[in-house]
Amino acid sequence: MNTYAATLLETVRSTRPLIHHITNTVTINDCANATLAIGAAPVMAGAIEEVGEMAGIAGALVLNIGTLSPAQVDAMVAAGKAANAHDIPVILDPVGVGATTLRTKSAEKILRECTVTIIKGNAGEIGVLAGSGGTVRGVDSGGCAGNPLEVARRCAERWSTVVAMTGETDIVCENGEAYLIRNGSPMMERLSGTGCMAASVVGAFAAAGDDPVKSAAAALIAFGLAGERAERESAGPYSFRTALFDELASLSQEIIISEAQVEQIRGI
């Protein structure tokens, strides 16, 4: 997996895929910059009048419900259907799902009406979408009910998609196969938007790869390693933010091969 992730990073940088975002207003600039730092190209286009056209020319579509409205959800569904028609990966970041009825119903609407390639969420969000229970306060995870690997598997099975569940150990799974990724930094929880940025990196890797579960795992390896390395040179959350972008941009194949901590599990 280390070699696959390293190779995919270089594919992202050599092909520079366009990643179409319909995302939240709190972290939109950080998502754009994370996409640029990893080597892809961002576009933030949310008007329903253009989302179908934009999605049709993108390498991947990232949908983030962090600051949602009914009109935005309609635009997300339209973009998702256009992406599906062009076989373009769709990544859903169900920010805060479970915290309110609007968020939960909106995420489920997107999942019912579009084919979502990868759901990227924290443990609480994935627990809610799995139907097994999870707690979310605002947009922060309170954790899932039960074994995290089993919860991720249930969510993947329920929605017929790849699940990338972030946490102290990231879990990526689909169809009985899982990757446990132990790269990352506690500083990521002290900075707004790191989960949103992770979804952008997942979008970039999904656009460059042909295996969604491996692409999602590779993306979280890369993002986790950038966080680990950024922590070493930061004094607090905001210097960490700057260092995180720098480390995403300077991440190399050699770093991934030598420092990725990933375990593959089959038959879950």
Q: Which residues are annotated as a binding site for ATP?
A: 120, 166
Q: How confident is the model at residue 139 (pLDDT cuts 50, 70, 90)?
A: very low
At 143, is the pLDDT very low, low, confident or very high (cuts 50, 70, 90)? low
Spatial contact of 133 and 146, defined as CB atoms under 8 Å apart:
yes
**CB count in 10 Å sphere of residue 97:** 28
Contact 107, 92 (CB under 8 A): yes
According to DSSP, the residues that pair with 42 across neighbouring strands are: 19
Q: In this predicted model, what pLDDT tens digit does every residue of 49-63 receive, in sequence order?
A: 999 999 999 999 999
Domain boundaries, the chain: 2-266
Binding-site annotation: residue ranges for substrate: 44, 193
- Is the pLDDT reported for residue 11 higher than 90? yes
Interaxial angle between packed helices 101-113 and 70-85, expressed in degrees from 0 to 180 and rounded to the nearest 10: 20
| Residue 201 pLDDT class (50, 70, 90 cuts) | very high
Q: Which two tokens stand for residue 14?
A: 């050599």
d(CA 83, CA 223): 25
pLDDT band at 207 (very low <50, low <70, confident <90, very high): very high
Give CA–CA dist 203/109, Å, rounded. 21
| Binding site feature residues | 44, 120, 166, 193
Q: And the tokens for 77?
A: 């569904």
Please state, for a pLDDT cut of 70, what percent of the chain lies above it: 95
Task: Label residue 220 by pLDDT band (50, 70, 90).
Answer: very high
The pLDDT score that the predictor gives to residue 12 is: 98
Q: Which residue in 150, 91, 154, 152 sits closest to 122, CA to CA?
A: 152
At the topology level of CATH, where does 2-266 sit?
UDP-N-acetylmuramoyl-L-alanine:D-glutamate ligase (3.40.1190)
Integer CA distances (angstroms), 197 to 26, 133, 202, 212, in order: 12, 25, 9, 18
Q: What is the mean pLDDT of residues 89-100?
A: 96
pLDDT for position 176:
87
- Are 158 and 128 within 8 A, CB to CB? no
- Given a cut of 90, whether residue 247 has pLDDT beyond it is yes
- Report the C-alpha gap between 176 and 42 in whole angstroms: 32
- Per-residue pLDDT tens for 24-47? 999 999 999 999 999 999 999 999
User: Which residues, at least 6 apart from 184, have a Cβ–Cβ distance to it below 8 Å?
Assistant: 168, 170, 223, 224, 227, 228
| pLDDT (0 to 100) of residue 230 | 98
